[in-house]
A and B are shown apart, each in its own frame.
Chain A
């Protein structure tokens, strides 16, 4: 009898702990129903709009995702590296914020060295030229979700090799970029 009761109790606890969000997350979602179940990232690349929408963004996994901000251990240190990653129908967009994730401004300049930013229809776009840059603003970070906007000037990489061959410097304009309700995942 005692054993059955305890097993029943364990089942109740297991089922209740399967609820997908914390109490605070649930309360915030109740306050803002529009942000509850969809993550979006959109931008224009030379005037062409790219939009990625993910329903149930918190259900994504490390091996099956479309739009996340990952939090990964940084080499063998105690620090974590935060990075936005979006796999859209036109290709990947990625940006590393650094070892801290807070509301604020983040940028990468071409003068720092070549850096892949995104793929657009099999065309890789880099921060390459000293005048290139990509800037992200995180406007809110709450309950492990971020919102913000971004823009940039990039250079296309025409051909990979030694050395890489780049196209017209600064010919790729990223405008009206925004992301909303992107979950921050640890792994």
Chain B
């Protein structure tokens, strides 16, 4: 019951949503065996003003390990909240969006002393996201570049992503 009320509230509060597909690359020490990864997310956007939005984002990122087949790679599923600020104040153009959140599920499948181990983790997530909001026809698009880090067990997984997102239309503000 409570879940239903909460979902209904979100439906009326969220002014619109984004969905994205992106290309990602793990960076940092000992990441040379990772090939390009792919990521996707859905993002709820709560408009605060013409230039500012509060965002909530659920993502799924997959990084493939290319070390001769001994391990599969890493999966990270972060849930983040962010503050998106349009630099020219119009809601379009360049923006910055710091995000913070929690990694709901993470696993690295790797080869350890003759066995494939699935190392599961969670951890805090920080992201610095910047991008460009623009229209093609009436379709709003968002081309963005992001640096994200997950911190857990005294280590960190860091990656950059380049993505293009599009709006999911279901809120009133889409028609404004």
Contacts and interface: CB of A to CB of B under 8 A. Distances in A.
Interface of A: 2, 5-6, 9-10, 12-13, 16-17, 19-28, 30, 58, 71, 100-103, 140-144, 183-184, 186
Contacts of B123: 23
B128 A10 contact: yes
25 contacts: A2-B85, A6-B85, A9-B100, A12-B126, A13-B147, A13-B149, A16-B149, A16-B151, A17-B156, A17-B158, A20-B29, A21-B30, A22-B28, A23-B155, A26-B155, A27-B108, A27-B121, A58-B29, A100-B68, A101-B68, A102-B68, A140-B112, A142-B112, A143-B110, A186-B32
Nearest to A183: B30
A16 B126 contact: yes
A122 B68 CA distance: 38
Nearest to B153: A26
Contact of A25 (B96, B98, B155): B155
Contacts of A28: 112, 119
Interface in B144-176: 147, 149-158
Interface residues of B, number: 40
Nearest to A12: B126
Contacts of A141: 67, 70, 111
Contact of B128 (A9, A24, A100, A103): A9
The binding surface of chain B is classed by DSSP as strand
Contacts of B100: 9
A24 B52 CA distance: 37
Contacts of B131: none
A23 B153 contact: yes
A9 B147 CA distance: 11
B127 interface: yes
Nearest to B109: A24
A13 B149 CA distance: 7
B115 to A, nearest CB: 9
B113 A144 contact: no
B30 A143 contact: yes
A21 B153 CA distance: 10
Contact of B150 (A2, A12, A23, A143): A23
Contacts of B31: 22
B55 to A, nearest CB: 14
B126 A27 contact: no
A24 B119 contact: yes
A71 B30 CA distance: 12
Contact of B113 (A10, A13, A142): A142
Given A13-B127, A58-B29, A26 B113 contact: no
Contacts of B147: 13, 17
B91 interface: no
A30 to B, nearest CB: 7
B4 interface: no
